[in-house]
Amino acid sequence: MKYAVLGAGLMGKAIAWDILNQDDTTEVILTDNSQNKLSEASWLIDNPKLLTELIDATNSDQVEFILKKVDAAVAAIHYGFNVNFSKLAISSKTHMCDLGGNNDIVDEQMKLNAEAEKAGISIIPDCGLAPGMIAVLIKWGLEKFDWVDTVKARVGGLPQNPEGVLKYGRLFSTEGLINEYIEPVRVLRDGELKEIEPLSEIEELEFPEPYGKLEAFTTSGGLSTMVETYKGTLKNLDYKTIRYPGHATAIRAMYELGYFSSETVDTPDGSIKPRTLASTLIERTIPLCENDVTLVRIVFEGGGKSHSLTIIDKAIKNPPLTAMMRTTGFPAAIVSQMQARGVIGKSGVMPQEKCVPAGKFIEELKKRAILVDGV
């Protein structure tokens, strides 16, 4: 099988590494517009089946040329490219999945369903962690328990050694992080699809030591298409981000003061967009976290019964992959392999909860030492 990974950032490296370690992989083409990132990836992966290509993601001809060479592709760069990548995958008749992260973009991709069906390929958005892996875990629970009417998904990437008032370390795109903190949150409440405020409804939850008592609060995008998929099936469905206590209050203060606004503000020293400033300062003052942990808690409730799934996944040193790289990149790689191998036999633009076999997916996670307690 031949694959392409579009984007050689943190998640792209993890995806390429995982695919290259499969016996039936013959080639992985890793692309980026940065030669430095491609060189870093080659050093990390060091595999003769890896090819690197310097391309411009805005150049459709270059992207299509790569897609025509492979059986399946993973888009691992900014979600703003995903609609065009989907169109190019259709014209190339190449399976594609992506890391997603934006509801409006996914809605546009879904409109390409008939074209993807005609091309005989599958396009699966939002295949990272959340949105992503949690969709398949929720599918597992709903297939196993016929009494479920409420699902609560709680997910967070945290530094194992927290510092500062935010107790946070950067684990992925700052722009993506800000989007999660400011965009409307889609949930199911009493069977109705509703939009609620981000950075609200703070609750306490507990994980085994050394993490202990943590907090969770509303953020956008984590449920993706699931609110539509399960409307009429579930009474309640929501998603919250896990952080160390106090994080939500600090971020909420920045939000209310307008630090995440994209509207230009005039100051005595000139004009500026607060969001640009906030993003720059976050990247300048909060370093990338190499020693992190991914925490997942999914609770199924209904009829007086309850069942939970828990994941605690930590960074590893050989190869040097953060927990966020593992729990975001590996699920996307698994889905891409399922597409290429024909495990996912349907064609069209589909959410994971409608096409990824949950049991097999969880088996693949276990092979990668991502263990789901409660299965």
- 101 pLDDT more than 80: no
Q: What percent of the chain has pLDDT over 90?
A: 90
Residues 165-200 pLDDT 10s: 999 998 887 888 898 999 999 999 999 999 999 999
* C-alpha to C-alpha distance for 73 and 93, rounded to whole angstroms: 11
* C-alpha to C-alpha distance for 375 and 363, rounded to whole angstroms: 10
Beta bridge partners of 237: 151, 188
- 115 pLDDT more than 80: yes
- 233 pLDDT more than 90: yes
Identify the weakest region by mean pLDDT among 10-19, 166-175, 224-233, 347-356. 166-175
- What does the pLDDT read at residue 102? 83
* C-alpha to C-alpha distance for 275 and 288, rounded to whole angstroms: 19
- The burial class, CB within 10 Å (0-12 / 13-18 / 19+), for 40 is middle
| Predicted model pTM | 0.94
Find out whether 83 and 107 touch, Cβ atoms under 8 Å: no
Average pLDDT over residues 14-38: 96
Beta bridge partners of 158: 293
Residues 301-329 pLDDT 10s: 999 999 999 999 999 998 899 999 999 99
Residues 249-285 pLDDT 10s: 999 999 999 999 999 999 998 999 999 999 999 999 9
Which residues lie closer than 8 Å to 273 by C-beta, 6 or more apart?
261, 262, 263, 264, 265
Which residues lie closer than 8 Å to 180 by C-beta, 6 or more apart?
101, 198, 219, 220, 221, 222, 241
Q: How many CB atoms sit inside 10 A of residue 151's CB?
A: 25
Q: What b/e string do you get for 200-235 counting C-beta neighbours within 10 Å, with b at 16 or more?
A: eebeebebeeebeebbbbbbbbbbbbbbebbeeebb
Pairing of strands 150-159, 292-302: antiparallel
- State the residue for tokens 């996944």: 313
Dig out the tokens for 168 from the structure: 């946070």
- What does the pLDDT read at residue 73? 98
- What does the pLDDT read at residue 365? 98
45 pLDDT tier (thresholds 50, 70, 90): confident
Beta bridge partners of 296: 155, 311
DSSP string of 38-80, one letter each residue: HHHHHHHH--TTEEEEE--TT-HHHHHHHHTT-SEEEE-S-GG
